[in-house]
Amino acid sequence: MNREIPFFLTKPQYLTIKDELDAAVQRVLDTSFFVLGQELTAFEAAWADYLGVARAVGVGSGTEAIHLALRVLDIGPGDEVLTVSHTAVATTVAISSTGATPVFVDIDPHTYTMDCTDLERRITPRSKAIVPVHLYGHPAEMDRVLPLAEHHGLVVVEDAAQAHGAAYRGRRCGTLGAAGAFSFYPTKNLGAYGDGGAVITNDTALAERLVLLRNYGWSERYYSAIKGYNSRLDELQAAVLGAKLPYLDSWNARRRRLAALYTATLAGDAGESTIRVPTEAAWAAHTYHLYVVRVPERDRVQAGLRERGIATQVHYPVPVHLQEAYRDLGYVSGSLPHTEQAAAEILSLPLYPELTDDDVQYVAAALRETVAGL
Ligand SMILES: Cc1ncc(COP(=O)(O)O)c(C=O)c1O
C-alpha cells in the first residue's frame, strides 16, 4: 500500500502550537496596528538575542534582506559581488537589484557551499562584496571566506536564508560577516505566514541606516533623509515569528534526528555506492533545512518515488548562471563544473519536524528500492 508523503506541510506545525499562534494573531487584530509596531520591535529583539548579535532589522523578505544589506554597505553599479550559482535565484536577484554584477563561484561538491579556492581565483579589482550562502542549512567555510574578504577589502553579507540556528565552529550563521540575511518564507526552519526577512548585524550604525532604508528613507514621518525602499516585516508576521521562535531549537533538533535516521537507513551496503547522503563538515552544525541526496538518473528516481506517493523536489534544477535571465553575464555550460554536476544529480527528500520516524524510514526504503531497480 502506497503512503502519501508530501514534500512539506505547514499545517501540522500550526496545529502543534495552535493556541499560541491564534493568540499572537488575535493580539495584532485586537490592537489593529499592522506595520512597524510593538510586535516587530519585540521580535527583532528576540531574534537578535537568539543569535547573540546587537541588532536585527525586520524587512519584507529574504531577498530584500540581502538587497538592503548590500545597499547599506554601499554596493551598487560597477561593483562585483561574488556568490554561488548553486542557490535560490533570490540571492542573485538581490545582488542585481543593487545594480552590481554577480560573479559566480563554483561549489565544494560535498558541502554544496562556496569553494574558497575558486572564490580566490575570481576576485578582481572590481570585487566589493562576497555573499556566501549557507545552503540547505550547512554553513559555508567562513574561516576561509573571512580572511580572503579582509585581505582584499571586501564586505561579507551572509545569505542565511536556509540556516536559522545553524552554526560555524559554534558561531551562528549570519553573525560572522558585516551583516547576515534571513528569510522567513513559510517553508523555512523559522517560517512566517507570508513573506518576511531580517538583516542582522553587530554594527548599530548600519542597523540604524537599515531602519531608514526599509521605510522610504524616512528619518521621521514624511522626511526622507536618504533614498529608501518600502520593505518591512509586518506586525502579523512578527507576532507569528515571535510565537514560533521558542520552538526553533527543538524543531532543528528534530530535523537533525530525522536526517540522521535517513542517513543511517540510506548509507548502508548496497545503497552506499549509488545514493550519496549529505555530509556535515567537522566545523558545521547543520540544521537540515533540506535533506539532499545525490542519485544516478535523478529524474527517473524522482518519477519512481512519485509513483509510490512520495513527493521530492530539486534545489535547484538549473543553476543561476545557466538561467535565461542571466545569460548576459556570459557564463556557459561548463563554466562551473561542480555546480552543474550537482544540479543534475541532487534530490531533496521530505524533511520537516512533524514527519514521523516511520515516514522517514518508508521514504528511505522506497528510495533504495527505486535506485536498486534502475
Ligand atoms: C538561499 C536563499 N536565499 C534567499 C532567499 C530569499 O528569501 P525570500 O523568499 O524570503 O525572498 C531564499 C528563499 O527563497 C533562499 O533559499
**What pLDDT is recorded for position 2?**
77
Is the pLDDT score of 86 beyond 50? Answer: yes
H or E stretch covering 329: none
Contact (Cβ atoms closer than 8 angstroms) between residue 185 and residue 175 = no
Strand locations in 62-192 (E): 80-84, 101-105, 127-130, 155-159, 167-168, 171-172, 179-183
The model's pLDDT over 133-189, given as tens digits with 9 standing for 90+, comes to 999 999 999 999 999 999 999 999 999 999 999 999 999 999 999 999 999 999 999
Phi, psi at residue 81, to the nearest 5°? -120, 120
pTM given for the model: 0.98
Interatomic CA distance for residues 246 and 244, integer angstroms: 6
What domains can be seen in the chain, in order of their start residue?
Answer: 11-105+112-247 (3.40.640.10), 248-372 (3.90.1150.10)
**What pLDDT is recorded for position 267?**
81
| Total count of residues recorded for the chain | 374
Kindly state the DSSP code that residue 313 receives in the 8-state scheme: B
Tell me if the bond preceding 316 is cis, omega within 30° of 0. Answer: yes
Is the pLDDT score of 271 beyond 50? Answer: no
The model's pLDDT over 241-267, given as tens digits with 9 standing for 90+, comes to 999 999 999 999 999 999 999 999 998
Above pLDDT 70, what percent of the chain? 98
**What pLDDT is recorded for position 256?**
98
* Stretch 34-63: mean pLDDT: 98
Q: Cβ contacts of residue 136 below 8 Å, gap of 6+? A: 112, 162, 278, 286, 288, 289, 290, 291, 292, 315
Closest C-alpha to ligand 1, atom 8: 62
The model's pLDDT over 216-230, given as tens digits with 9 standing for 90+, comes to 999 999 999 999 999
Which residues share a beta bridge with 171? 168
What confidence tier does 1 reach under pLDDT thresholds 50, 70, 90? Answer: low
**What pLDDT is recorded for position 273?**
65
Rounded to the nearest angstrom, the distance between the alpha carbon of 90 and the centre of ligand 1 is 5
The model's pLDDT over 324-345, given as tens digits with 9 standing for 90+, comes to 999 999 999 999 999 999 999 9
Task: Give the CA distances from residue 294 to residues 79, 87, 88, 346, 371, in Å, rounded to whole numbers and listed in that order.
Answer: 35, 16, 18, 4, 11
Is the pLDDT score of 7 beyond 80? Answer: yes
Rounded to the nearest angstrom, the distance between the alpha carbon of 102 and the centre of ligand 1 is 16
Mutate to test the pocket of ligand 1, among 138, 182, 183 (most ligand atoms within 8 A of CB): 183
Place of cell 526577512: 197
Coil, strand or helix: which one is 344?
Answer: helix
